[in-house]
Amino acid sequence: MLYKKNIIFNQQIKETYTHLKELELNTICVEGNCPNIGECFSKGKMTFLILGDTCTRNCLYCNVNKSKRGKELNFGEIENIKKIISLHRLNSVVITSVTRDDLIDGGSHYYALLCKELKEFNNKVSIEILTPDFGYDEKSINTIITSHADILSHNIELTQSLYKKYRPVGNYTKSLDILKQYAQSGKKSKSAFIIGFGETDDDIKQTIYDIASTNIHYLSIGQYLAPSKNHLKPLKYYSHEYFQTLSEWVKENFNFEKIDVSFYSRSSYLDA
């Protein structure tokens, strides 16, 4: 795959793979074939993928398995996340999920239960949740806002012009509404999108304006990389200089608390 980073398999990375396998835990790092996996695993960073490994949406750029029905919820997963927190002495976790349009609450109560149990297990562990849109259901979004998570994140994913083609079930405007609610929750909030699908410079800047208007705290922008040979190829690879210039423009024009704008940036790559 183009632009994949080389991984030098040190002890920490090997142990992470082994423990994830033994505990039957999914991560978006592995399922999404993330280019940062070596770097993150060697620093004890990983993003757990809950609600199964099968997504009910069909976004063309994503590597996760897809089907109309997801997997049965596995409540044993909560205990296993606690075990890996202990094994790797994690002081923060990032949790994301597939989209579960086949569940009445989209899995929002499972998110809330997991956060509650993790805080009861160790309230010093910071919990960031990167959520799907829950079909834009207000009750589900409220369940997330009132959960024990410390950081609420929802990715805009793409510029608005590309939604119809690449993210047909998503709704850009409604996702911005979720961000507004996350930003007003009193918790830290975060969003990200990737570029390389044929969007224009104006599309990128407009998306940044739109995200900034929600008042979220953290923003990441990175290059789309095809997760496998069978996936959509990027229409454009932006240079490191382009990202550098964009990063400076964002710093000059907006008041995000933190930004991470670079070729390899991903939402969970930015330490919140």
Residues that bind ligand SF4 (CB under 6 A): 28-29, 32, 34, 36-37, 40, 45-47, 266, 268-269
Residue 157 in contact with residue 59, Cβ under 8 Å?
A: yes
Residue (157 or 210) nearer to ligand SF4, CB? 157
Query: Least distance (Å) from ligand SF4 to the CB of residue 260?
Result: 10
User: Concatenated DSSP letters for 117-147?
Assistant: HHHHH-TTSEEEEE---GGG-HHHHHHHHTS
Residue (40 or 152) nearer to ligand SF4, CB? 40
Residue (36 or 56) nearer to ligand SF4, CB? 36
> CA–CA separation, 80 vs 202, rounded Å?
45
Query: Least distance (Å) from ligand SF4 to the CB of residue 190?
Result: 12
Query: Least distance (Å) from ligand SF4 to the CB of residue 43?
Result: 9
Closest by CA position to 15, among listed 35, 36, 43, 34: 43
Residue 52 in contact with residue 71, Cβ under 8 Å?
A: yes
Query: Least distance (Å) from ligand SF4 to the CB of residue 218?
Result: 14
Residue 153 in contact with residue 189, Cβ under 8 Å?
A: yes
> CA–CA separation, 261 vs 150, rounded Å?
23
Residue (143 or 220) nearer to ligand SF4, CB? 220
Residue (95 or 162) nearer to ligand SF4, CB? 95
* Tokens matching residue 2: 């183009």
Query: Least distance (Å) from ligand SF4 to the CB of residue 33?
Result: 9
Helices 172-183, 138-145: inter-axial angle, 10-degree rounding? 30
> CA–CA separation, 233 vs 51, rounded Å?
28
Residue (47 or 153) nearer to ligand SF4, CB? 47
Query: Least distance (Å) from ligand SF4 to the CB of residue 58?
Result: 20
DSSP conformation class of 258: E
DSSP conformation class of 151: E
